[in-house]
Homo-oligomer: A and B are copies of this chain.
Amino acid sequence: MSFTESRARGLVLFVVVLVALGCAASETPRAKEPSAGDELEAAVDPLPSWNNTATKAKIIAFVDAVTDPDRPEYVEPEERIATFDNDGTLWVEKPAYAELLFALDRVKSLAQVHPEWKSQEPFRAVLEGNLDAFVAAGRRGVIEVLMASHTGMSAALFNTIATEWIRDARHPELEKPYTELAYQPQIELLRYLEANGFSTFIVSGGTVEFLRTFADPTYGIPPERVIGSSVETRYEVQGGKPSLLRVPEVDFVNDKGGKPVGIHKRIGRRPILAFGNSDGDFEMLEYTTLGSAGVRLGLLLHHDDAEREYAYDRESKVGTLDRALDAASGAGWVVVSMKNDWNTVFVEE
């Protein structure tokens, strides 16, 4: 097993909750086809789960600007790249990232073939449900648990295991499958952008194969438009079939400064819209908007809705939103208030 700690920044995920900040807003919406009449406009609102606030108006104004060939802000369709973080941006990330809970569950399942784990940290802490001790083991402990749960098997077997977990797992507090904890307004936004010629991508610190097990059924984002962290992988032929063996080494960490690198290597174009919710998305939003010649849109989802979801930002260890929140107004990033800008949070079953 290899520990590439310096490459693993941002993979450390804990369990905390925090406070809220409000974001007042109010505004009239803008419809795409003013000639169609008010009733029809209302009927075809592409973002019905978004309240008619300044936030929604900014999103629609941006899309109108970059898709109108007569305007100077026009962007050719192939350059309309929109990147979305996953945890905390497309679905719930509190009290802990789903992928971490998956990893902890896997350690418990694998413990019977690893009797040595009973006396070996960080596994002992995980098996005893002692999350404080697990957290105390630090990054190295998290990487060990991720490698034990994510590697040493074929990509096909990992896919089966992760798919079954996603199907069966329930959020520890909201008691629903994770796939029902995707945000309805964001799914509307993805479809709205795609209908306007955008290519949408998930750009997450999570591992790419884990993300792919739910990205298409949950968000309608196919595997080739999912960018994530990855483990080393080796091609082999086993039993007359091609196999991709997952090796216990970190290959790439797609978080913080890794997000622009992942975007560049995978897409090869700079996004014109990026949507995140934490300091892990700072560089992705910066890469998207800073020093660009054209109009660009950076968006930060602010979790300020303790009633319907969670309220947290600066002090939270999961999804810390501090540096990016400070930078938002200077950078022109739009802070989306879950409380005020969304009339619906979760997808309808």
A residues adjacent to B (C-beta < 8 A): 78, 155, 199, 208-209, 212, 222-224, 226, 230, 233-237, 240-242, 244, 257-261, 264-269, 283, 286-287, 290-291
Minimum Cβ distance to chain B for residue A121 (Å): 31
Q: Which residue of B lies closest to A261 (CB)?
A: B233
Contacts of A230 in B (CB 8 A): 265
Would A290 and B242 count as touching, CB distance under 8 A? yes
Given known A-B contacts A224-B268, A265-B230, A242 and B208 have beta carbons under 8 A apart: no
Q: Which residue of B lies closest to A269 (CB)?
A: B223
Would B155 and A208 count as touching, CB distance under 8 A? no
| A–B Cβ pairs within 8 angstroms, 13 of them | A155-B264, A223-B268, A223-B269, A224-B267, A224-B269, A226-B268, A230-B265, A235-B259, A235-B261, A237-B290, A240-B291, A241-B291, A242-B287
CA separation between A290 and B234, bound complex, in Å? 17
Would A240 and B290 count as touching, CB distance under 8 A? yes
Number of copies: 2
CA separation between A240 and B269, bound complex, in Å? 19
CA separation between A234 and B258, bound complex, in Å? 8
CA separation between A287 and B234, bound complex, in Å? 12
Q: Which residue of B lies closest to A270 (CB)?
A: B242
Minimum Cβ distance to chain B for residue A323 (Å): 13
Would A212 and B268 count as touching, CB distance under 8 A? yes
Contacts of A155 in B (CB 8 A): 264
Of A223, A242, A260, A290, which is in contact with the most chain B CB atoms at under 10 Å from its CB?
Answer: A242
CA separation between A267 and B223, bound complex, in Å? 6
Of A199, A230, A240, A261, which is in contact with the most chain B CB atoms at under 10 Å from its CB?
Answer: A261
Q: Which residue of B lies closest to A291 (CB)?
A: B241
Known A-B contacts: A240-B291, A242-B283. Give 17 more (CB < 8 A). Answer: A155-B264, A212-B268, A223-B268, A224-B269, A226-B268, A233-B261, A234-B257, A235-B257, A235-B258, A235-B260, A235-B261, A235-B287, A236-B257, A237-B286, A240-B290, A242-B286, A242-B287
CA separation between A268 and B214, bound complex, in Å? 13
Q: Which residue of B lies closest to A236 (CB)?
A: B257
CA separation between A266 and B208, bound complex, in Å? 9
The 7 closest A-B pairs by CB, nearest first: A223-B268, A235-B257, A241-B291, A235-B260, A242-B287, A224-B267, A233-B261
Contacts of A258 in B (CB 8 A): 235
Would B235 and A283 count as touching, CB distance under 8 A? yes
CA separation between A317 and B265, bound complex, in Å? 29
Q: Which residue of B lies closest to A215 (CB)?
A: B268
CA separation between A269 and B216, bound complex, in Å? 13
Q: Which of B242, B286, B291 contacts A260 (CB 8 A)?
A: B242
CA separation between A224 and B266, bound complex, in Å? 6
Q: Which of B208, B235, B260 contacts A268 (CB 8 A)?
A: B208
Q: Which of B208, B224, B261 contacts A234 (CB 8 A)?
A: B261
